[in-house]
């Protein structure tokens, strides 16, 4: 592997973007294997379920209320599976970064799975709590919901890296992002545009297939072409979407360093220990 990236340093906006893609490039092989083995399967299940529900939707048009309710329930369950799949992908990516931050440079899926599984309960709880908080905020005004969403974007990172309980982790997010909300929003906004453009390559086949079917008045169906295009689209999500989580990780380390100089303190301690060992060795 190329020279390791020091995560625990302050970075400018452009430096965080550059570091995100440099980290992804340097860790591509190991990270790709981890994402395919751990993050990809659940995403495939969720996307295939949604594709199936879209394919059978015309069959429920004009039917009785019971059938419609059953269909809506099935769609809701499919959305829950996708919600869990995206949260799991987030957790897997952050767990990989946590392994890297701990000094591991030979990161295996087993090591990532162990760390992710240890934090799974906390992260799922955080996801549910975040969903309720954002829903309540959205009932009042859109702006508070947006503000809260940016603050809580660091929540999974804080939980995995620091091991705080839920409410302490939420408080920690507010502390870290204080005075840096706009820079965090800007980073997520720019990464969202970049990731969206990159995902077009993977989602385009599915859109083309559906467009052709609509043009020729064919009913959308759940067939082999739908399955293949859905899987191809999921590969794009599994590979491209984690770039946003990596960027958030660099923002987290940047904020911690700005407010607490954790990386600098660590370097000073390591330097002091090295000096002490050399002095003792001379005697």
- Residue recorded with tokens 């502390």: 175
Locate 123 and state its tokens: 């992260």
- Do the Cβ atoms of 45 and 81 come closer than 8 Å? yes
pTM for the structure as a whole: 0.82
The DSSP code for 50 is H
Closest CA to 174 of 213, 203, 201, 148: 148
Asked whether 277 and 213 are in contact (CB, 8 A), the reply is no
Place of tokens 């759940």: 222
What is the mean pLDDT of each successive set of 10 residues along the chain, which is 283 residues long?
82 94 94 90 79 60 63 74 86 95 92 93 86 81 84 93 90 94 95 91 80 64 71 82 94 93 58 48 52
Cα separation, 203 vs 232, in Å, equals: 8
Residue range 170-202, pLDDT digits in tens:
999 999 999 999 999 999 999 999 999 998 888
pLDDT on residue 99: 95
């Amino acid at each position: 592997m190329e020279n390791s990236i020091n995560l625990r340093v302050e970075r400018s906006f452009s430096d965080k973007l550059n570091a995100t893609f440099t980290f992804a490039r340097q860790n591509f092989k190991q990270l790709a294997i981890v994402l395919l083995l751990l993050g990809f399967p659940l995403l495939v299940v969720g996307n295939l379920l949604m594709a199936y529900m879209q394919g059978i939707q015309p069959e429920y048009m004009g039917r009785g209320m019971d059938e419609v309710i059953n269909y809506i329930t099935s769609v809701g369950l499919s959305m829950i599976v996708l919600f869990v799949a995206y949260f799991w992908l987030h957790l897997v990516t952050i767990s990989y970064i946590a392994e890297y931050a701990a000094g591991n440079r030979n990161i295996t899926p087993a090591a990532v799975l162990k760390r992710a599984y240890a934090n799974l309960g906390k992260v799922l709880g955080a996801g549910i709590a975040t969903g309720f908080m954002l829903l309540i905020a959205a009932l009042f005004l859109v702006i508070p919901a947006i503000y809260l969403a940016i603050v809580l974007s660091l929540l999974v990172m804080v939980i995995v890296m620091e091991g705080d309980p839920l409410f302490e982790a939420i408080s920690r997010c507010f502390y870290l992002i204080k005075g840096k909300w706009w820079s965090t929003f800007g980073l997520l906004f720019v990464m969202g545009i970049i990731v969206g453009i990159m995902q077009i390559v993977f989602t385009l086949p599915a859109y083309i297939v559906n467009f052709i079917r609509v043009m020729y008045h064919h009913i959308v169906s759940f067939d082999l072409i739908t399955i293949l295009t859905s899987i191809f689209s999921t590969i794009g999500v599994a590979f491209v979407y984690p770039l946003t989580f990596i960027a958030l990780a660099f923002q987290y380390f940047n904020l911690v360093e700005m407010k607490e100089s954790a990386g600098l303190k660590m370097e000073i301690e390591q330097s002091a220990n090295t000096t002490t060992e050399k002095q003792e060795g001379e005697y």
